[in-house]
Amino acid sequence: MTEPESRSSVYSEALEWYENNWDPNRSLGEWWKLLAESGWAFPSWPVGFGGQGLKGNEAKAAKQAQRDTEAYGPPNGVATFLVAPTLMHYGTPEQQRRYMPGIVSGQDAWCQLFSEPGSGSDMAGLATRAERDGDEWIITGQKVWSSGAQFAKYGILIARTDPHLPKHKGITYFLIDMQQEGVDVRPLREMTGDAVFNEVFLSEARVSEADRLGDLGEGWRVAMTTLSHERDPENPGMGDTDAFGQADLSLPVHEHASIEANKVDGFSLALSGGVTKILNEIIEETGKGDDPVIRQQLMGLLEMRRNSKWSGERVVASVKAGGQPGPEVSTLKLLGSEMGRQIRDIGLNALGSAGMLTGEQASHNELFYAYSMFTPAMSIAGGTDEVQKNIIGERVLGLPREPGEAQQRETNWSELPRS
Ligand SMILES: Cc1cc2nc3c(=O)[nH]c(=O)nc-3n(C[C@H](O)[C@H](O)[C@H](O)COP(=O)(O)OP(=O)(O)OC[C@H]3O[C@@H](n4cnc5c(N)ncnc54)[C@H](O)[C@@H]3O)c2cc1C
């Protein structure tokens, strides 16, 4: 079967399913469950995990059928774009059976507990401790910048299980229940005006040994898998529905969708890629398409998109070779934050002083303003631009590592200097 034929047969099958089942009056929870059971929620994921095991173009065709019927998309967020791919790769069958259904049907929200006040870029330097107590681990420490933690039922957590090993080696990866005594979540207000981030204080919180993901001391490797998916803009778990809000599953989908459509949220806009449509509208409405500076900037954006497509092909090749995105994915992450800044600058140039307006007077329900305020975060979240450049230099181009890095990698964590 040739690619276009398979694409069209999958498209017809998916289209038929959506036409028969999509009903905006169903509750959100019911719709997401139905979508997950049908396998059209995440078409490229395995059967039983909300998917149908479809490959590239076939999965895209199924997604297109959803868009063409204007059916509401599957759940989106840390659970689907970070936890699911990591769990499918490293989870035991028991862990997958326990957690995947709640993820693919949007019933359980998750958060990512990696960054700490003293270790963001230097994530391997983390200080949160996990100490064994019978069949459980006792977790003590502090995490920060944990997006959506205030709504999360579970978290993916990395903690130090052996301080007397080099920093990359004494880390273990856990699945933690966020709704327990010992987990204190405190929201932080951002410059966007939203409070998506949180500080998370862990005071003798408990994790069962059965919720260790991957081997003891292998947490760094497991976390790198999670981060490679976070940096991959082609991640099939990254959808176009609200990623960080608290969804009321009992609401009819059309009510939920209308709340979402009126929400001013630069974070979700950046994740969904929906800003391109807004930028095009701004250029049309302001009539600035002929402005030489803006035309030049648009050409720059086009060039970045071409580079991104080229890099995307390399990433797809690396996924085929190793099963998971390789370090090449950092080129996409870097280009993504550069494109974000370029889109912001073009839009603000076109809007002129109107770009400074907030509230009702702002362009596009304040969405472009919110996006502009969010763009600096794109160069930080999931690893900063500088860190991506280091990864590209060292792991893709084979350049020498940073000075002192080799020695740091061999010294036990407990002997490393810390601020
Ligand atoms: C929107 C958003 C959402 C986030 N969500 C989460 C989340 O859900 N869970 C989570 O765990 N974390 C989250 N983060 C945190 C994010 O991963 C960290 O902010 C990031 O890794 C940088 O760490 P830091 O803030 O400690 O900065 P630092 O590591 O202190 O970096 C400060 C500056 O130093 C530079 N720098 C540091 N080391 C090097 C080096 N070796 N070479 C060159 N330059 C260097 C950095 O590039 C940066 O400019 C989020 C961040 C953002 C912005």
The number of the ligand 1 atom at minimal distance from the alpha carbon of 143 is: 11
Ligand 1 site, residue 379, Cβ cutoff 6 A? no
Q: With a 6 A CB cut-off, is 121 part of the ligand 1 pocket? A: yes
Mutate to test the pocket of ligand 1, among 110, 112, 116, 121 (most ligand atoms within 8 A of CB): 121
| Domain residue spans of the chain | 3-73, 83-230, 264-396
Helices (H), 49-182: 56-68, 78, 84-90, 93-104
Pick the CATH number of 83-230 from 2.40.110.10, 3.40.50.300, 3.20.20.70, 3.40.50.150: 2.40.110.10
Residue 181 Cα to ligand 1 middle (Å): 28
Residue 419's pLDDT band, with cuts at 50, 70 and 90, is: low
Return the ligand 1 atom nearest residue 117 CA. Answer: 26
pLDDT tens digits for 156-210? 999 999 999 999 999 999 999 999 999 999 999 988 888 889 999 999 999 999 9
Average pLDDT of the segment spanning 49-67: 92
Q: Chain-wide mean pLDDT for the chain? A: 92
Residue 353 has pLDDT above 70, yes or no: yes
DSSP string, 142-165: EEE--TTGGG-SEEEEEEES-TTS
- Expressed in angstroms and rounded, the spacing between residue 116 Cα and the centre of ligand 1 is 9
Instruction: Confirm or reject: Cβ of 105 under 6 Å from ligand 1.
Output: no
In this prediction, residue 68 has a pLDDT band, given cuts at 50, 70 and 90, of very high
Can you give the three-state secondary structure of 261-309, one letter per residue? HCCCCHHHHHHHCCHHHHHHHHHHHHCHHHCHHHHHHHHHHHHHHHHHH
Instruction: Give the contacts of 220 (CB within 8 A, at least 6 positions apart).
Output: 124, 158, 168, 169, 171
Best residue for ligand 1 mutational test, from 81, 115, 167 (most atoms within 8 Å of Cβ): 115
* Confidence (pLDDT) at 7: 52
Residue nearest atom 4 in ligand 1 by C-alpha distance: 381
Cα 26 to Cα 9, 108, 325, distances in angstroms: 27, 19, 36
Residue 386 CA to ligand 1 centre (angstroms): 10
> Closest Cα to atom 2, ligand 1: which residue?
381
| Backbone phi and psi for residue 398, each to the nearest 5 degrees, phi listed first | 75, 25
Q: Is 340 in the pocket of ligand 1 (CB under 6 A)?
A: no
The catalytic position among 58, 116, 230, 328 is 230
The atom of ligand 1 lying closest to the CA of 267 is 1
**82 Cβ closer than 6 Å to some ligand 1 atom:** no
394 is catalytic: no
**In CATH, what number does 264-396 get?**
1.20.140.10
Residues of the chain with pLDDT > 90, as a percent, come to 76
Place of tokens 């003590």: 140
Q: Is the Cβ atom of 222 under 6 angstroms away from ligand 1?
A: no
**pLDDT single digits (tens) 240-284:** 888 887 889 999 999 999 988 888 788 878 877 789 999 999 999
The residue among 106, 102, 100, 108 whose CA lies nearest residue 32 is 106
Q: Is 198 in the pocket of ligand 1 (CB under 6 A)?
A: no
pLDDT at 325: 84
